[in-house]
Amino acid sequence: MIIDERMEELASLYVIGALTGPELAEFQAALQASPKMQQFLAGLQPAVEAVAGSIPVVAPPPELRAKILARVAPQKVVTLPERSFPAALWWLRAIATGLAALCIVLLLDDRQLHQTISAQNRQISELQQLAQTLQSATNSLNQTVLSLRESNRLANVRITMLNSLLADAPKMEAVTLWDYQSAGGVLVVQNFRNLPPDKDYELWVMDEQKTPVPAGVFHPDASGTLRLDYKAGRFIKTPGQFCVTEEVKGGVAAPTIKNLVLASN
């Protein structure tokens, strides 16, 4: 770039701060593009400094220096003199130092404690979840156990129907639930014929040798129904037939065959 008279004018106005408008933009573009122009402009700077210094000196007020230097001064830190404590109070320092150290230790401990508590809370939460899972499994197992017990109980029970042997009382019937473990059970009767007060019905259970074993006497009410918990007179491992006879009040040791009223198949 050739620095002609016009560009020198623009540079002179620019360095003195009097260039504006489109000429300013034009000159700045030229300045960007031309190292020669940059060099030329730099050479004018001392001239401007000379102009600036050509005026009569006016001494600044002395306090201005102190004011300015104070603004860049570092912040004063108040420190206690090294020997501000009387020698006799050395133990106060020792206590203060000890307390400070204790505070630091406590702070560290506190931090560790918080970390431990957090870890334990996490473990508790996990254990609670595990406990819920186990509780659920336990409930399920209990249900299963109950179900199995029920099944087992039913497996140990024998249900037998007893039918009427009387032509004039064909609706008399009974059901017995025999529990193998207790050698007893429950007898439920209905539509039984009424008995005179001096007579009772008696239940018999045949043992393995087909010997009748007395299992209890009963006297139904006027409706002919009754529920009787009974137990065989002796232990029978595997019962045979069940039957009911009419006997004298209180029952007898051996059944009266002619008075047989109900029997199982």
Task: Write out the residues near another protein by the rule CB under 8 A.
Answer: 5, 8-9, 11-21, 24, 28, 31-32, 35, 38-39, 41-61, 64-65, 67-69, 71-73
The candidate with the shortest Cα–Cα distance to 199, out of 216, 174, 226, 218, is: 218
CB of 102 to another protein, least distance (A): 39
Sheet strands side by side (includes 173-179): 212-218, 199-206, 242-248, 260-264, 157-164, 173-179, 184-190, 226-231
Hey, what long-range contacts does 37-42 have (CB within 8 A, 24 or more apart)? 37/1, 37/3, 37/7, 37/11, 40/3, 40/8, 40/11, 41/11, 41/14, 41/15
CB of 32 to another protein, least distance (A): 5
CB of 78 to another protein, least distance (A): 20
| 27 close to 11: Cβ distance less than 8 angstroms | yes
**Complex with another protein: residue 19 or 189, whichever CB lies closer:** 19
**Complex with another protein: residue 26 or 179, whichever CB lies closer:** 26
DSSP reduced 3-state for 38: helix
CB of 5 to another protein, least distance (A): 8
**Complex with another protein: residue 69 or 87, whichever CB lies closer:** 69
Hey, what long-range contacts does 212-221 have (CB within 8 A, 24 or more apart)? 212/243, 212/254, 212/255, 214/251, 214/252, 214/253, 214/255, 215/184, 216/187, 216/251, 217/247, 217/250, 217/251, 218/187, 218/189, 219/195, 220/189, 220/192, 220/194, 220/195
**Complex with another protein: residue 12 or 259, whichever CB lies closer:** 12
CB of 79 to another protein, least distance (A): 20
DSSP reduced 3-state for 22: helix
CB of 23 to another protein, least distance (A): 8
**Complex with another protein: residue 13 or 263, whichever CB lies closer:** 13
Q: State phi, psi for 203 to the nearest 5 degrees.
A: -95, 140
CB of 76 to another protein, least distance (A): 14
